[in-house]
Structure 1
Amino acid sequence: MIGYYIHHHGHGHLARATSICAHLRNPVTALSSATLPGRNAAVFDEVVELPRDDEAVDAAVDPTAHGLLHWVPRHDDGLRRRMAALAEWITRARPRVMVVDVSVEVTLLARLFGIPVVVMAMPGTRTDAPHTLGYRSADHLIAAWAQEVYDPEWLHPYAHKTSYVGGISRFDGRRTPPDADDSDDRPTVLVMGGSGGSALSSGDFRSWKSRHTRYRWEGLGVPGGVWADDPWPSLCRADVVIGHAGQNTVADIAAARRPAVLVAERRPYDEQHATTAALHSAGLSVGLPEWPDPDRWPELIERARGEDPAQWARWQTSGAAARAAAIVDRIAEEEAPT
Structure 2
Amino acid sequence: MIGYYIHHHGAGHHIRARTICAELAAPVTALTSRSIDDSAFARTVVLPADDAAADVLDPTAADRLHWVPKGDAGLRDRMTTISDWIAAERPAAIVVDVSVEVALLARLHGVPVITMVLPGTRTDAPHNLVHDIADALLAAWPRALYDPSWLHAYADKTHYLGGVSRFAARQPSARRARPARPTVLVLAGAGGSRFTAASVRECADRHPQYRWRTAGLDNWVDDLWPRLCVADVVIAHAGQGAVADIAAAAKPAVLIPADRPFGEQHATATALADAGLAVTVDAWPAPHEWPALIESALRLDARRWCEWRTQGAAARAAAVIEQVARAGAQPTACAPVA
Shorter chain as normaliser: what TM range?
over 0.9
> Which aligned pairs between 1:112-191 and structure 2 lie closer than 5 A?
112-176=108-172, 185-191=180-186
Q: Which amino acid aligns with 2:60?
A: T
For residue 256 of structure 1, report the CA deviation from its aligned partner.
Answer: 0.1
Say yes or no: does 1:45 pair with 2:42: yes
Alignment partners' CA distance in 2, 1:195 and 1:118: 25
Alignment partners' CA distance in 2, 1:163 and 1:235: 28
**Is the partner of 2:186 in helix, strand or coil?**
strand
Alignment partners' CA distance in 1, 2:216 and 2:28: 30
Say yes or no: does 1:111 pair with 2:104: no
For residue 126 of structure 1, report the CA deviation from its aligned partner.
Answer: 0.6
Q: Please, which moves more after superposition, 287-296 or 161-170?
A: 287-296
Q: Which amino acid aligns with 2:17?
A: A
Alignment partners' CA distance in 2, 1:280 and 1:157: 26
**Is the partner of 2:311 in helix, strand or coil?**
coil
For residue 122 of structure 1, report the CA deviation from its aligned partner.
Answer: 0.3
> Which aligned pairs between 1:1-338 and structure 2 lie closer than 5 A?
1-37=1-37, 41-56=38-53, 58-176=54-172, 185-222=180-217, 225-337=218-330
Q: Which amino acid aligns with 2:46?
A: E
For residue 46 of structure 1, report the CA deviation from its aligned partner.
Answer: 1.4
Alignment partners' CA distance in 1, 2:155 and 2:286: 40
Q: Which amino acid aligns with 2:138?
A: I
Is the 8 Å Cα contact of residues 194 and 283 (structure 2) preserved in structure 1?
no
For residue 294 of structure 1, report the CA deviation from its aligned partner.
Answer: 1.8
For residue 47 of structure 1, report the CA deviation from its aligned partner.
Answer: 1.1
Is the 8 Å Cα contact of residues 194 and 256 (structure 2) preserved in structure 1?
no
Residue 336 of structure 2: aligned partner: none
What are the Cα deviations for residues 47-93 of structure 1, in whole angstroms up to 9, with x where unaligned? 1111110112x411111101111100001000000000000001111
Alignment partners' CA distance in 2, 1:14 and 1:282: 28
Q: Which amino acid aligns with 2:236?
A: G
Alignment partners' CA distance in 2, 1:67 and 1:235: 42
For residue 35 of structure 1, report the CA deviation from its aligned partner.
Answer: 1.3
Q: Which amino acid aligns with 2:30?
A: A
Alignment partners' CA distance in 1, 2:87 and 2:193: 40
**Is the partner of 1:42 in helix, strand or coil?**
coil
**Is the partner of 1:59 in helix, strand or coil?**
coil
TM-score, normalisation: structure 1:
0.95
What are the Cα deviations for residues 269-327 of structure 1, in whole angstroms up to 9, with x where unaligned? 01010000000000111112222222111000000000000110000000100110011
Q: Which amino acid aligns with 1:98?
A: I
The alignment covers a number of residue pairs equal to: 329
Alignment partners' CA distance in 2, 1:302 and 1:292: 14
What are the Cα deviations for residues 104-145 of structure 1, in whole angstroms up to 9, with x where unaligned? 000100000111100000001111111111111111100000
Q: Please, which moves more after superposition, 169-178 or 74-83?
A: 169-178
For residue 176 of structure 1, report the CA deviation from its aligned partner.
Answer: 4.0
For residue 262 of structure 1, report the CA deviation from its aligned partner.
Answer: 0.6
For residue 177 of structure 1, report the CA deviation from its aligned partner.
Answer: 6.2
For residue 36 of structure 1, report the CA deviation from its aligned partner.
Answer: 1.1
Alignment partners' CA distance in 1, 2:174 and 2:320: 35
For residue 213 of structure 1, report the CA deviation from its aligned partner.
Answer: 0.8
**Is the partner of 2:9 in helix, strand or coil?**
coil
Alignment root-mean-square deviation, CA: 1.5
Q: CA 1:256–1:291 in 2, change beyond 3 Å: closer, same or farther?
A: same
Q: What percent identity do the matched residue pairs reach? A: 55
Alignment partners' CA distance in 2, 1:228 and 1:235: 11
Q: Which amino acid aligns with 2:270?
A: A
For residue 174 of structure 1, report the CA deviation from its aligned partner.
Answer: 1.2
For residue 185 of structure 1, report the CA deviation from its aligned partner.
Answer: 4.0
**Is the partner of 1:72 in helix, strand or coil?**
coil
